Amino acid sequence: MDMSNLNSTHHFDVIIVGSGGAGLSLALSLPEHFKIAILAKSHLTDASTYYAQGGVAAVLDQSDSIQQHIDDTMIAGVDLCELDAVQQTVNGGKPSVDFLLQQGVAFTLDQDQQLHLTREGGHSQRRIIHAADATGKAISTTLVQRAQEKANIQIFENFIAIDVISHAKLGCDTQPNRALGLYALDEQHQTVHTFLAPFTALACGGAMKAYLYTSNPDIATGDGIAMAYRAGCRVANMEFNQFHPTCLYHPQARSFLITEAMRGEGAYLRLPSGERFMLRFDERAELAPRDIVARAIDFEIKRLGIRHVWLDITHQPADFVKEHFPTLYARLLELGIDITTEMIPVVPAAHYTCGGVMVDEHSQTDLPGLYAIGETAYTGLHGSNRMASNSLLECFVYGMSAAQHIEQHFDPSFDYPSIPAWDTSQVTDADEDVVILQNWDELRATMWNYVGIVRTTKRLQRALHRIEMLKKEITEYYQDYYVSKNLIELRNLVLVSEMIVRCAMQRKESRGLHYTLDYPELATELRKTVLNPPNFQVEQPLVNVDSPDLC
């Protein structure tokens, strides 16, 4: 679409930022008379959903039960999952699968032409539906195609959201504060557009590009979390960052994941000596939750001074491996690794943001008219550790719930106050973009070295000191120069990095994904860490904690 000929102000009924499973499920669940905008800051399939290799967790087999799925989730989250959210998500498993099948997603079938179910870490039963080992690709491409077919959905590729527009942001105190839309940069033409709608949904993915090594695509820069916080929404549990245990260690394959399902189908983790070491850390061995497996690998790498460990599925029949993991088999063969006869070098990498913007059962944030869905949101489902394949399920359950809520509360007579265009009168062209690159690299290295799989109070203090200095530099740069994609992302990343550190400093225990040498035991109190935005007020806060204001 040639955006250069379009007016810079656009009116819609619903604006959705993000083109992954969460955003697309919302768009496709809304009535077709709604005028919908989808903003993707890259091409449509460049979202975390596309790269998901595992699948969607759902109770579909008679040997399984809703209660077992709930129990498994609560155990993986180390008792910090919120039961209402877990129940809503697990009960939404069958409706979500039905939704995906109606959209035309081609899942793998068994010999009886029923949905094939596999098992992953933390699950007591086979309940993962999948499309071979490229489930995310199958879901993403199908939902994108459905969205492109809808006349009521307008797609804006290469548009980067900057900030949410609200009454408070406009200085309008005569009306109750609510979201009115957002500003977004058209990267192709380097112009800022105004998008207005009664309802705005942030489905921008997580924030794991804050780390030097990550399995995430480049879009995962915490945009939705940062924008919601600046708009006045609370954020919770940002200290719980999941490191995927098995990212391929290879110079020619940046951010390439080895799916959890490979361990579900019997793969072993081995040291260079050939020893299976996971049995020394957990009785579930390779099927232990991801935090335990990642920490065990990290321990062995540091103990032995090695760069990686090995994942071994060579004991399974070659035809079995090729049938279950065709994408992995072909890709690794291109890199010179035949997984039917050779072990795979793997290391942990930052993978999933378990915290995020606090929402209710309808994905509503603290700001009326603003929703957060998927990895951007904190629903309470994951607790201190996400169980494999629950995250895609969460996208669909909460996407459909948000759609229902928006439909019920839509007011066709909604009126806007006067919305100013984006102001560029006080900025100039940047003199040297190398400043952005330098700060980006320093921020991610700081997070990896000081706020990684194993933490200490001293490391967190050092990280916070450096992040505060970086944030000051980045803020000054943002105020002086025209916005760019890299600058917008860096501004968001430094804020979410600060959130991660501040949440980690509040948690005086080791639980789930947060492991600190200074507090290695579980605390007796179950609590989430909540960060309140400046001047935030709520009559009945969900958790009574002292949290610093971030600016």
Mark whether 491 is an active-site residue: no
Same fold flag, 242-350 and 434-521? no
For residue 156, what are its two tokens? 């804006």
Name residue 347's amino acid: V
For 304, the enclosing helix (H) or strand (E) is: helix 290-304
* Alpha-carbon span 61 to 185, nearest angstrom: 47
Q: What is the pLDDT of residue 539?
A: 37
- Report the alpha-carbon distance of residue 236 to residue 255 in Å, rounded: 27
d(CA 349, CA 257): 9
Q: For residues 99-128, give the mean pLDDT.
A: 93
The CATH classification of domain 434-521, taken from the options 1.10.390.10, 2.60.40.3950, 3.90.25.10, 1.20.58.100: 1.20.58.100
Q: Which residues contact 281 (CB under 8 A, 6 or more apart)?
A: 288, 292, 295, 296, 299
State how far the Cα of 504 lies from the Cα of 524, in Å rounded to an integer. Answer: 17
pLDDT digits 0-9 by tens, 254-271: 678 898 889 989 999 999
At 238, the amino acid letter reads M
272 to 157, 298, 336: CA distances (angstroms):
46, 14, 19
Provide long-range contacts, Cβ within 8 A and 24+ apart, for 431-437: 433/484, 433/486, 435/473, 435/477, 436/477, 436/484, 436/486, 436/487, 436/490, 437/486
Residue percentage of the chain with pLDDT more than 70 = 95
CA dist 142 and 384 (Å) reads: 32
Q: Which residue has the higher pLDDT, 302 or 366?
A: 366
Lookup result for tokens 């991660």? 500
Q: CA 195: distance to chain centroid? A: 24
pLDDT for position 500: 98
Q: pLDDT of 165-203, one tens digit each?
A: 999 988 888 888 999 999 999 999 999 999 999 999 999
Return the beta strands (E) in 354-454 as ranges: 356-358, 370-372, 377-378
pLDDT mean over 443-462: 94
* Mean pLDDT of the 280-287 span: 94
Is the confidence at residue 534, as pLDDT, over 80?
Answer: yes
Residues 44-71, mean pLDDT to the nearest whole number: 92
Domain borders along the chain are: 10-239+354-409, 242-350, 434-521
Average pLDDT over residues 405-428: 88
Of 290, 455, 491, 502, catalytic: 290
Q: DSSP string of 21-87? A: HHHHHHHHHS-TTS-EEEEESS-TT-SHHHH--S-EE---STT--HHHHHHHHHHHTTT-S-HHHHH
| pLDDT grade for 432, boundaries at 50, 70 and 90 | low
* Structure tokens belonging to residue 464: 């916070």
Q: What is the pairing mode between strands 9-11 and 36-40?
A: unpaired
Note whether 339 and 310 are within 8 A (CB).
no
Which of the 8 DSSP states describes residue 533? Answer: P
Enumerate residues 6+ apart whose C-beta is below 8 A from 337.
250, 344
| Tens-digit pLDDT profile for residues 66-88 | 999 999 999 999 999 999 999 99
- Residues 422, 484: Cα–Cα separation, whole Å: 14
User: Given pLDDT bands bounded at 50, 70 and 90, which one contains residue 252?
Assistant: confident
As a whole number, the mean pLDDT across the chain is 91
Residue 139 has a CB neighbour count (10 Å cut-off) of 28
What is the arithmetic mean of pLDDT over 323-340? 95
Q: Worst-scoring range by mean pLDDT, 24-28, 126-130, 530-534, 540-544?
A: 540-544
| CB 4 within 8 Å of CB 181 | no
Q: Is the pLDDT of residue 548 over 60?
A: no
Write down the pLDDT at residue 416: 84
**Among 19, 10, 121, 123, residue whose Cα is nearest residue 61:** 123
Q: In whole angstroms, what is the distance from residue 125 CA to residue 69 CA? A: 8
Q: Using an 8 Å Cβ cutoff, are 499 and 238 in contact? A: yes
What digits encode the pLDDT tens for the residues 226-246?
999 999 999 999 999 999 889
Mean pLDDT of 392-409: 98
- Quickly name the fold that domain 242-350 has: Flavocytochrome C3; Chain A, domain 1 (3.90.700)
Q: Does the pTM exceed 0.75?
A: yes
Query: Fold for domain 10-239+354-409?
Result: FAD/NAD(P)-binding domain (3.50.50)
